[in-house]
Amino acid sequence: MKTKSVLAAAAVFALALPAAAAPLRVLATFPDLADIARQVGGADVTVESIARGTEDPHQVVMRPSFVPKLNRADAVVFMGLTLEHAFLPGLLDAAVNPKMRTDSVRECVGPACIDVSAGVPILEKPATLSRSEGELHPYGNPHYNVGPQNGPLIARNIAEGFARIDPAHEADYRRNLAAYLSQLNAAIAGWEKLVAPLKGMKAVSYHKDVAYLGKFTGLDFVDTIELKPGVPPTPTHLQGLVERMKQDGVKIIVCEQHFSRESCDWLAERTGAKVAVIGVMAGAFPDADTYLKIQDHNIRAVVAAAGVAP
Amino acid sequence: MKSLAAALVAALSVAASAQTAPPDPDVAPTAEQRLAALESRLDKLENAPANASISSFNPAIGMAIDAVVRDSNNRANFDFRAAELNLEAPVDPFLKAWAVITGSNQGVDVEEAAMQTTALPYNLTVRGGRVFAPFGRLSAWHDHELPMVDRPNSLNTFVGGEAHADGLEVNCLFPTPFYLEGTVGAYNRIGADNNRTDILGGNSLSEWTYLGRLHTYNEVTDSLGFDLGVSEAWTPKSGQDRPTSGPLTGSVVSDPRNDSGRTLSGVDLTLRYQPAVGGLYKGFIWGTEVLQNDERTYDAASGAADGRAVSYAGYSNIESKLGRVVRVGGYADLTELTYDNRSISRSYAGYLTFEITEFDRIRLQYTRVMNNFSGDLSSLPGTDFGYNDLTGLHPGSIVSLQWTAVIGYHVHGFRGRWGS
């Protein structure tokens, strides 16, 4: 009888306790966004990245294992500006989650979609929309995560999205955001000092994904190793690029980690420019698995290639 | 009084000049003036109508152009295989629709014209209209999307080319921790070149084809995953033309009585190696599909079973990246004829694909077809796939050069991902 009473009391007590809210299930398209989402979401979210940091963001593998995850997700955090066109619309279509639906203009529409491009000053909006200019992104250059100046805005957009979807934890998200921004802003201030001597120096990159890095560092990217965006280099183009780099006094070749270094090294040999290998996503290198670390890696790589001291 | 009038005139002239005089460029605007100008511009922007036109609701449009040059048995042909117009748009909050209209040297054909729900509960999706039925691995792919130039003979012979199907299907994404989807469908028939059922006239429900498919995907490692699918298409009553006697020596008779039943079953496996590091330049896909065709015949008068023919077919293909632009691949195919499993055709192919850009592709293929039977294939049922006598089961060596381009709207669909 006594045992029964104790059990009954325990059951009543357990029922009276407020049920612990399950964390928000978040999928981020890229590791950068996943990392920032973890910082902002804290214990109130579980976050997974669809892309792996070493992949080409334009050719992320559409793995069906993410279909059930997207189906159950409470939020999807994405870059927008058609950067995820190779994998997100297809996965969303298969995931049949009514809170996030594929859309030909905005990639994802619905209450669970968090587009972190909102408010980003978009660079390199195409003057013409023709595929004769390569694989263009019609709304402008979508690689804004590669410029550290956009990190705070990405974090704010994620916090706003979380607060909209999960208003019960809005205060937590705001507190986490403030803490992360203080870290990020301190880091940005340090990087600004590091890159000060780069202003006006000429550089080339493999792909046209460094516009925002150029804006932050002051580097003047005059050309790309690719013939056009998404079009691999031809021998004629590379030969012409050697001449142009010599004429313009290009000192830095920014080679994104996911591209072959062969062309970068070939150019470096013929022009004397130095190669800076950067990552366009967190996780591009084993020791750069967060947004802060990959930005730090990239800044130090270009500063080292330039051979300048702050 | 005079001085009052003069003061009034002076005040009015000052006011007038203040209204009309342009801002002095040498005088910097005050903060209030700049703010007012900004507010004015912002008001105009916010109150302006959205930048759109009535054509904004038009469907997204794209086109794939596919041409193949073939040389075989001292005959060559430039095959304008397809100019495939794709149209797609949401219909309303509950439905989307698309159409694929193909023009080729065989005329104009509506390959797909379908509607699909987008807001059903329980992870359900309903598609209806003319669809590509999801039987197996490559049957639901358009010709120009295939990893090889021509569809393997096993699929042409057993499914009937592209899996055109007029009907209705329900798809469910199961609530499992891993990817598992199931589809059931009912169609007039499956297969663009399947001529067993007349789809223009009315048929009894026993002459329809009913499909069931389960498809799962699992990852062995971060870079290695596999798809596994099982499909079954059941046609309770189907007519099939067949020779009256002997493997291929007798004359061919049609079977207007619909006195046979057919079950087409398939298992498909796809292994993908897609490494995270250097995945732009390396990786491979290996895919295999095995099909069984089970035909049962019944006595027209009594309805009693009076015969059964079981035959098998399948192919295995592998494709590997050799760099960012180049892929190399090959396949082997074995096909037993559906009405005579002693008649076997074997095909071997090797191909080199150049993905010049995402929208521009050239492919060179060598195919060798060997049969253990002979005869005029153009008169034999189930052997002529409608192209020409340089493809299909016609024995010999075939060299093909394919050139494919895509213009306009282009989407990376889930079904059409590389090596599905």
* Rounded Cα–Cα distance for residues B70 and B401 (Å): 7
Query: What share of chain B has pLDDT > 90, as a percent?
Result: 55
Q: Which of A61-70, A178-187, B243-252 bottoms out in mean pLDDT, i.e. has the lowest?
A: B243-252
* Rounded Cα–Cα distance for residues B104 and B106 (Å): 5
Torsion of CA B400, B379, B261, B210, to 10 degrees: 40
* Rounded Cα–Cα distance for residues A181 and B231 (Å): 53
Alpha-carbon distance A129 to nearest alpha carbon in chain B (angstroms): 11
Minimum-distance CB partner of B357 among A56, A230, A259: A230
Residue range A188-200: mean pLDDT, rounded: 96
Q: Which of A92-101, A197-206, B197-206, B410-419 bottoms out in mean pLDDT, i.e. has the lowest?
A: B410-419
| Reported confidence tier of residue B109, pLDDT bands at 50, 70, 90 | very high
Inter-CA distances, A279 with A148, A206, B230, Å: 13, 12, 41
Q: Report the run of H or E that residue A269 belongs to, with start and end.
A: helix A262-271
Contacts of A25 in chain B (CB under 8 A): none
Q: Is B258's pLDDT higher than 60?
A: no
Contacts of A259 in chain B (CB under 8 A): 280
Chain B residues with CB within 8 Å of chain A CB: 60, 88, 118-120, 123-125, 173, 175-181, 217-219, 222, 225, 227, 274, 276-281, 324-325, 356-359, 407, 409, 411-414, 417
Alpha-carbon distance B412 to nearest alpha carbon in chain A (angstroms): 6
Do A68 and B281 lie within an 8 Å CB cutoff? no
Contacts of A89 in chain B (CB under 8 A): 411-412
Residue range A87-103: mean pLDDT, rounded: 93
What digits encode the pLDDT tens for the residues B283-333?
Answer: 999 999 999 999 887 776 777 777 788 999 999 999 999 999 999 999 999
Alpha-carbon distance B12 to nearest alpha carbon in chain A (angstroms): 47
Minimum-distance CB partner of B358 among A104, A230, A259: A230
| pLDDT confidence of residue A129 | 87
Q: Which of A118-132, B171-185, B302-316, B384-398 bottoms out in mean pLDDT, i.e. has the lowest?
A: B384-398
What digits encode the pLDDT tens for the residues B44-65?
Answer: 888 877 776 777 788 999 999 9
Short-list A161, A147, A86, A74, CA closest to A118: A161
| pLDDT confidence of residue B122 | 95
Q: Is B198's pLDDT higher than 80?
A: no
Q: Is A176's pLDDT higher than 50?
A: yes
* Rounded Cα–Cα distance for residues A212 and A124 (Å): 10
Q: Which of B122, B173, B215, B355 to mutate to test the interface with A (most CBs of A within 10 A)?
A: B173
Residue range A168-187: mean pLDDT, rounded: 98
Alpha-carbon distance A232 to nearest alpha carbon in chain B (angstroms): 8
Q: Is B79's pLDDT higher than 50?
A: yes
Contacts of A68 in chain B (CB under 8 A): 173, 175-180
Short-list B245, B289, B251, B249, CA closest to B267: B289
Chain A residues with CB within 8 Å of chain B CB: 52-56, 59, 61-65, 67-68, 71-72, 85-87, 89-91, 93-96, 98, 101, 104, 131, 134-135, 230-232, 258-260
Alpha-carbon distance B295 to nearest alpha carbon in chain A (angstroms): 34
Q: Considering only alpha carbons, which residue of chain A is nearest residue B215?
A: A64
| pLDDT confidence of residue B140 | 92
| pLDDT confidence of residue A43 | 96
| Reported confidence tier of residue A21, pLDDT bands at 50, 70, 90 | confident
Q: Which of A62, A69, A88, A97 to mutate to test the interface with B (most CBs of B within 10 A)?
A: A62
Alpha-carbon distance A51 to nearest alpha carbon in chain B (angstroms): 9
| pLDDT confidence of residue A84 | 94
Q: Is A2's pLDDT higher than 60?
A: no
Q: Are B121 and B151 in contact (CB under 8 A)?
A: no
* Rounded Cα–Cα distance for residues B183 and B133 (Å): 9
- Other C-beta atoms closer than 10 Å to the C-beta of B276 total 16
Q: Is B419's pLDDT higher than 50?
A: no
Residue range B364-374: mean pLDDT, rounded: 91
Q: Is B189's pLDDT higher than 60?
A: yes
Do B60 and A104 lie within an 8 Å CB cutoff? yes
Contacts of B179 in chain A (CB under 8 A): 64-65, 67-68
Do A232 and B413 lie within an 8 Å CB cutoff? no
Alpha-carbon distance B279 to nearest alpha carbon in chain A (angstroms): 7
Alpha-carbon distance A176 to nearest alpha carbon in chain B (angstroms): 30
Q: What is the mean pLDDT of chain B?
A: 84
Q: Are A220 and A200 in contact (CB under 8 A)?
A: yes
Question: Buried b vs exposed e over B322-331: b needs ≥16 C-beta within 10 Å?
Answer: eeeeebebbb
Minimum-distance CB partner of B280 among A59, A98, A101: A59
Which SS3 state, helix, strand or coil, does residue B286 take?
strand
Per CATH, the number for B114-406 is 2.40.160
| Reported confidence tier of residue A310, pLDDT bands at 50, 70, 90 | low
| Reported confidence tier of residue B238, pLDDT bands at 50, 70, 90 | confident
Do B173 and A258 lie within an 8 Å CB cutoff? no
Domain boundaries, chain B: 114-406
Contacts of B322 in chain A (CB under 8 A): none
Residue range B110-124: mean pLDDT, rounded: 95
Do B123 and A71 lie within an 8 Å CB cutoff? yes
Residue range A285-300: mean pLDDT, rounded: 97
- ipTM, two decimals, is 0.86
Per CATH, the number for A24-188 is 3.40.50.1980
Q: Considering only alpha carbons, which residue of chain A is nearest residue B122?
A: A96
Q: Is A85's pLDDT higher than 70?
A: yes
Do A230 and B125 lie within an 8 Å CB cutoff? no
Do A87 and B412 lie within an 8 Å CB cutoff? yes
| pLDDT confidence of residue B253 | 47
| Reported confidence tier of residue B380, pLDDT bands at 50, 70, 90 | low
Contacts of A62 in chain B (CB under 8 A): 412, 414, 417
Alpha-carbon distance B290 to nearest alpha carbon in chain A (angstroms): 22
Q: Which of A58, A91, A93, A255 to mutate to test the interface with B (most CBs of B within 10 A)?
A: A93
| pLDDT confidence of residue B252 | 46
Q: Is A272's pLDDT higher than 90?
A: yes
Contacts of A231 in chain B (CB under 8 A): 356-357
Do B412 and A96 lie within an 8 Å CB cutoff? no
Contacts of A71 in chain B (CB under 8 A): 123, 173, 175
* Rounded Cα–Cα distance for residues B284 and B227 (Å): 14
Tell me, which fold does domain A195-306 have in CATH?
Answer: Rossmann fold (3.40.50)
Domain ranges in chain A with CATH number 3.40.50.1980: 24-188, 195-306
Minimum-distance CB partner of B219 among A65, A93, A134: A65
Alpha-carbon distance B362 to nearest alpha carbon in chain A (angstroms): 15
Q: Is B192's pLDDT higher than 60?
A: yes
Do A59 and B413 lie within an 8 Å CB cutoff? no
Residue range B334-351: mean pLDDT, rounded: 91
| pLDDT confidence of residue B250 | 40
Residue in the structure block whose two tokens are 């493809």: B391
| Reported confidence tier of residue B10, pLDDT bands at 50, 70, 90 | low
Q: Are A90 and A62 in contact (CB under 8 A)?
A: yes
| pLDDT confidence of residue B244 | 46
Q: What is the mean pLDDT of chain A?
A: 92
* Contacts within 8 Å (CB) and 24+ apart, B322-328: B323/B281, B324/A232, B324/A260, B324/B280, B324/B281, B324/B355, B325/A232, B325/B354, B325/B355, B325/B356, B326/B352, B326/B353, B326/B354, B326/B355, B327/B352, B327/B353, B327/B355, B328/B352, B328/B353
Q: What is the 3-state secondary structure (H, E, C) of B119-154?
A: CCCCCEEEEEEEEECCCCCCCCCCHHHCCCCCCCHH
| pLDDT confidence of residue B378 | 58
Q: Considering only alpha carbons, which residue of chain A is nearest residue B282?
A: A260
Contacts of B228 in chain A (CB under 8 A): none
